[in-house]
Amino acid sequence: DSGVTQTPKHLITATGQRVTLRCSPRSGDLSVYWYQQSLDQGLQFLIQYYNGEERAKGNILERFSAQQFPDLHSELNLSSLELGDSALYFCASSVGGGGPQETQYFGPGTRLLVL
């Protein structure tokens, strides 16, 4: 158990809908990362938050947004869903702030199926 929790575990929805994925980082970690794992794109970085502020952005679509709350949990919002958004979405956390000891610990993921 990495200490990172994600809910829900599975999500089935229809095209055009909006969903929210939730992540709670390990105790003491200030950084939260979101990754998407799909068959065609592999594992891709979406976005990072550090202590409530957006820190880095990767290949995140404009239809997707995220935030980190004062208690450091994070939510990833996916809207106007398309079939191609079906994927496994991982959250990871780390202490944050950079440095050689930075290690990201991953949650179990949320499997999203868009029908």
Single-letter amino acid code for the residue at 86: S
Total residues in contact with other proteins, by rule CB under 8 A: 29
Q: In what order do the strands lie in the sheet with 74-78?
A: 5-7, 19-24, 74-78, 64-68
In angstroms, what CA-CA distances link 28 with 71, 89, 98?
A: 11, 22, 15
Is residue 100 part of the contact set for other proteins (CB under 8 A)?
Answer: yes
CB 36 within 8 A of CB 87: yes
Of the candidates 59, 51, 12, 9, the residue with the CA atom closest to the CA atom of residue 30: 51
Is residue 33 part of the contact set for other proteins (CB under 8 A)?
Answer: yes
Is residue 87 part of the contact set for other proteins (CB under 8 A)?
Answer: no
Pick one of 32, 36, 78, 90: the residue that binds other proteins (CB under 8 A): 90
Residues 34-73 as x/- pattern, contact with other proteins by CB under 8 A: -x------xxxx--x------xx-x---------------
Nearer to other proteins, 3 or 84 (CB): 3
Q: Provide the pairing of β-strand 10-13 with 110-114.
A: parallel
Which stretch, 15-23, 63-71, 78-86, 104-112, contacts other proteins (CB under 8 A)?
104-112
- Which residues of this protein are in contact with other proteins, per CB under 8 A? 2, 31, 33, 35, 42-45, 48, 55-56, 58, 90, 92, 94, 96-109
